[in-house]
Amino acid sequence: LAKTTQPISMDSYEGQEVNITCSHNNIATNDYITWYQQFPSQGPRFIIQGYKTKVTNEVASLFIPADRKSSTLSLPRVSLSDTAVYYCLVGYEMGGGGNKLTFGTGTQLKVEL
Amino acid sequence: NAGVTQTPKFQVLKTGQSMTLQCAQDMNHNSMYWYRQDPGMGLRLIYYSASEGTTDKGEVPNGYNVSRLNKREFSLRLESAAPSQTSVYFCASSEISDEREFFGPGTRLTVL
């Protein structure tokens, strides 16, 4: 499993763009990069997944350079409601056909007025 | 669709008591998971069931047992609760080999 490194915390203000970078130097050829968001007292929620270049959905964008050793989650114009923990996951371990995702401690994003 | 539901939402146990956490999903997913999350930490996988009829240990299985009752339901049992099992427990489900897991709202368990 590729180990990931991301900042423990980030602060921002409403209306700003926030970029959270995740390092995953030993990513395997077949690994996808997946980001989850977790609000206090809730379970994590899948927000975006990518393999290379750029992926965009209604919530965020994911930028992946050619070497795939890092990725950047971009949240456009954040609001107070984007305050959450963001987890970067890379690949998963196969076990009997199921996933074995490895969650790190994530990045605590705090958005203020 | 309700997605993934968990019962109970909160529970307080005394050391040595037993209980079962219930989880159900209505998305027709094959795989289901149980995680625990301790304060300030990420989630750790306790047990998972890749498909109906199979269960496997995750990272922290000691002190727990699971039952995949049918495709919809996956329960987690604490036979003799210990204070170290105080945590928030999340159930999740997904399609086989898909990293997009859908999580329930969690059960906050305190063992005194």
- Tens-digit pLDDT profile for chain B (112 aa)? 789 999 999 999 999 999 999 999 999 999 999 999 998 788 999 999 988 989 999 889 999 999 999 999 999 999 999 999 999 999 999 987 777 899 999 999 999 9
Asked if B19 has any chain A CB less than 8 Å from its own CB, the reply is no
Asked if A35 has any chain B CB less than 8 Å from its own CB, the reply is no
Asked if A54 has any chain B CB less than 8 Å from its own CB, the reply is no
Can you read off the two tokens belonging to residue A17?
């763009």
The C-alpha torsion from A38 through A87 and B41 to B112, rounded to 10°, is 30
Q: Is a pLDDT exceeding 80 seen at residue A43?
A: yes
What is the pLDDT, as a whole number, of residue A1? 62
Count of other CB atoms within 10 angstroms of residue B94: 25
Of A41, A43, A98, the CB nearest to B56: A98
Q: CB–CB of A71/A50 below 8 Å?
A: yes
> Looking at chain A, which residue has its C-alpha nearest residue B4?
A43
| Contact residues for A30 (Cβ-Cβ < 8 A; gap 6+) | A91
Of A42, A96, A97, the CB nearest to B105: A42
A54 vs A59: CA distance, rounded Å: 14
The one-character DSSP state at A95 is B
Count of other CB atoms within 10 angstroms of residue B53: 9
Of B4, B50, B100, the CB nearest to A98: B50
Q: What is the mean pLDDT of residues A63-83?
A: 96
What is the pLDDT, as a whole number, of residue B96? 78
